[in-house]
Amino acid sequence: MSSTDDRLRNWIAGHRRVFALTGAGCSTASGIPDYRDDEGGWKRRPPVMIQAFRAQDVVYRRYWARAYAGWPHLAAAAPNAAHRAFAAWEAAGTLVQLVTQNVDGLHQRAGSRAVIDLHGRLDLVICLSCGDQTSRDNVQEAMAAANPRWRTEAATAPDGDADVEAAVIESFAAPRCERCGGLLKPDVVFFGENVPRDRYERAREALAGADALLVAGSSLMVYSGFRFARMAHEAGLPIAIVNRGRTRGDDLAGLKVELDVGSTLAAAVHRESHL
Ligand SMILES: [Zn+2]
Confidence at residue 275, expressed as pLDDT on a 0 to 100 scale:
44
Is residue 119 among the annotated active site residues?
A: yes
Q: How far is the CA of 129 from the centre of ligand 1 (A)?
A: 5
Among residues 15, 119, 270, 274, which one is catalytic? Answer: 119
Quick one: pLDDT at residue 4? 67
Ligand 1 centroid distance, CA of 188 (Å):
17
- pLDDT for 161 equals 59
Give the pLDDT of residue 185.
96
Instruction: Enumerate residues with CB within 5 Å of ligand 1 (an ion).
Output: 127, 129-130, 132, 177, 179-180, 182
- Give residue 200's pLDDT: 96
Cα 149 to ligand 1 centroid, rounded to whole Å:
26
Q: Per residue, what are the HEC states of the chain? A: CCHHHHHHHHHHHCCCCEEEEECHHHCHHHCCCCCECCCCCECCCCCCEHHHHHHCHHHHHHHHHHHHHHHHHHHCCCCCHHHHHHHHHHHHCCEEEEEECCCCCHHHHCCCCCEEECCEEEEEEEECCCCCEEEHHHHHHHHHHHCCCCCCCCEECHHHCEECCHHHHHCCCCCECCCCCCEEEEEECCECCCCCHHHHHHHHHHHHCCCEEEEECCCCCCHHHHHHHHHHHHCCCCEEEECCCCCCCHHHCCEEECCCHHHHHHHHHHHHCCC
User: How many angstroms does the Cα of residue 191 sit away from the middle of ligand 1?
Assistant: 22
pTM of the model: 0.88
Q: What's the pLDDT at 155?
A: 47
Q: What is the whole-number distance in angstroms between the Cα of residue 58 and the centre of ligand 1?
A: 20
Instruction: Give distance in angstroms: CA of 131 to centre of ligand 1.
Output: 6
For residue 191, the model assigns a pLDDT of 82
Per-residue pLDDT of the chain (275 residues; tens, 9 = 90+): 456 678 999 999 999 999 999 999 999 999 887 765 554 454 455 577 899 999 999 999 989 998 898 898 889 999 999 999 999 999 999 999 999 999 999 999 999 999 999 999 999 999 999 999 999 999 999 999 999 988 765 445 555 655 556 677 888 999 999 999 999 999 999 888 899 999 999 999 999 999 999 999 999 988 889 999 999 999 999 999 999 999 999 999 999 999 999 999 999 997 555 54
Say what the pLDDT of residue 42 is: 47
